[in-house]
Chain A
Amino acid sequence: MIRTALLVCAKDLRIEARSRVLLWQVVPFGVMALLLSGLALGPAHAGSSSAGPGLFYLVSLFVALLMINRSQGIESTPGTKASVATLGLDPAGVFLGKSLALAVELWITGVVLLAGAVLVLHTALHGAVLALPSIGVTLAAIAAAGTLYGALTTGGEGAATLLPVLTLPAFAPLLIAGERSFSAALHGGTLWEWWVILVVALVAYLAVGILLYGVLEES
């Protein structure tokens, strides 16, 4: 399973590195969305560091939607599913690999967005650095959940519009826990409670994915 996961992860990251969609399309979209969020709030509110964590995660979710669509798009190209089936790859490994690749992409974008939040939204650098581990776990949980939900919508009628309808409500608890842990890191609150929720969510999504991804692949 781990071997398959690493193979699939390397394959997805290699495709991403060659196409450079992440660099030239997704990251600029995220930065633009962050700027627009600041503009929508107005200079008085956007400049206060309290808005930073919420906006950071909101933009991260939009970016994640683009990436999930793209990650599943790779799998739905002609012949890919048949090749995976012929190779006899463990579906749990495929799920883990795709989740890991998505998480890596989200971490990279997250670092850029975090720098944007520090520069544009005046989020305290020290707090942002403290929040890094919780951001990493939140984005990994989003990646795991996103891989599952992405597989649910692949190939269906209106898949691109269906994906946000299915994923955004599911991401809401992750958004809340992530935002609270980020805010706690900025303002000195208790971090461990939100950490526990985030780790439990990550483990739960990974477990469900390992168990059920095969069922979705069968279809």
Chain B
Amino acid sequence: MMKQLSQRLLGPVTLVLLGLTFWLGLWVTPPDKVQGNLVRLLYVHPAIAWVALYVSFGTATIASGLYLWKRTRSLTMDRIAHCAMEVSVVFIVLTLVTGSIWGRPTWGVWWAWDARLTSTAILGVLALGYLALRRANDDPTLRARRSAVFAILSAINVPIIHFSVQWWKTLHQGATVFTSSRQVLVHGVMAWTLLISFVGFTLLFFWLLRARYRLEVEREESSAATLDEVLAARRSEGAL
């Protein structure tokens, strides 16, 4: 009952939170002292990046790890990893696009050879590589094993992206919400907008993941049914 209710509410709650983010970000919050109205893009960019790097890629990695662990090995884990990675690709592209739109007026260029940007782009290529690897193998078990190993190997890039602003001198700013000294640098309505944005985009990920997962199950069922029909047709031909 609770599960059904939460599944039904997931979509509407996500839409409300995202609507709230856009209303607060575009109309309620004041312009920034330094960045002016450009700051409004920062109510969505960090939340999208959070989902791209940590939530979706993290889900794909954990599901892959659980697939490789014999006790929890099941095709459900493989499906979750696959669907999460697909959603991750969308969010990585959105991260790069929103960052680029913000970077053009701020840095004067659409793209900079910055450690954070470059490593995020590399993660995007790795996520695409994961999808390509899945397409290259027809056997479900082989595909699941190989893609699970690849997802775990690719996840090495996530801490590199996270710490890139500390390890290298980058154009991309460091932590703003929580600094290394545990000081929150964003306050008031700006902080609330950012928080709502993070929750909203996280829920959007789970909504998309759920929809994609159901689609994948239906696709598998449909291809299995088609195969059964073809086999039945062949058998009836043989009987004639």
CB of B133 closer than 8 Å to a CB of A: yes
Stretch of B55-63, B122-130, B174-182, B203-211 on the interface side: B122-130
Chain B at the A interface: SS class? helix
With A170-B126, A173-B160, A216-B145 in contact, do A153 and B153 touch (Cβ < 8 Å)?
A: no
Do A215 and B68 touch (CB < 8 A)?
yes
Do A216 and B149 touch (CB < 8 A)?
yes
A165 to B122, CA, bound (A): 11
Do A165 and B152 touch (CB < 8 A)?
no
A204 to B153, CA, bound (A): 10
Residues of chain A from 142 to 172 with CB closer than 8 A to chain B in the complex: 148-149, 152-153, 156-159, 162, 165-166, 168-170, 172
A215 to B153, CA, bound (A): 13
Q: What residue of chain B has the Cβ atom nearest to residue A197's Cβ?
A: B167
Do A157 and B137 touch (CB < 8 A)?
yes
Do A148 and B153 touch (CB < 8 A)?
yes
| Per-residue A-contact encoding for B149-164, CB less than 8 Å = 1, 0 else | 1101110110010000
A residues engaging B (CB < 8 A)? Answer: 148-149, 152-153, 156-159, 162, 165-166, 168-170, 172-173, 204, 208, 212, 215-216, 218-219
A8 to B118, CA, bound (A): 37
Do B133 and A156 touch (CB < 8 A)?
yes
Q: List 12 A-B contacts (CB under 8 A).
A: A152-B149, A153-B136, A157-B137, A162-B136, A165-B125, A166-B129, A166-B150, A169-B126, A170-B126, A173-B160, A218-B145, A219-B146
A216 to B146, CA, bound (A): 7
Q: What's the interface size class on B, roughly? A: 20 to 34
* Contacts A169-B122, A218-B145 known; 6 new A-B pairs at CB < 8 A: A156-B136, A156-B137, A157-B138, A165-B128, A208-B152, A212-B152
Determine how close the nearest CB of chain B comes to the CB of A86; give it in whole angstroms: 20
Chain B residues lying within 8 Å of A153, measured Cβ to Cβ, are: 133, 136
| Per-residue A-contact encoding for B35-51, CB less than 8 Å = 1, 0 else | 00000000000000000
Chain A residues lying within 8 Å of B129, measured Cβ to Cβ, are: 162, 165-166, 169
A113 to B218, CA, bound (A): 53
Cβ-neighbour of B153 out of A156, A165, A170, A219 (below 8 A): A170
A157 to B143, CA, bound (A): 11
A148 to B150, CA, bound (A): 9
Residue from the set A156, A157, A158, A215 with the largest chain B CB neighbour count within 10 Å: A156
A204 to B122, CA, bound (A): 19
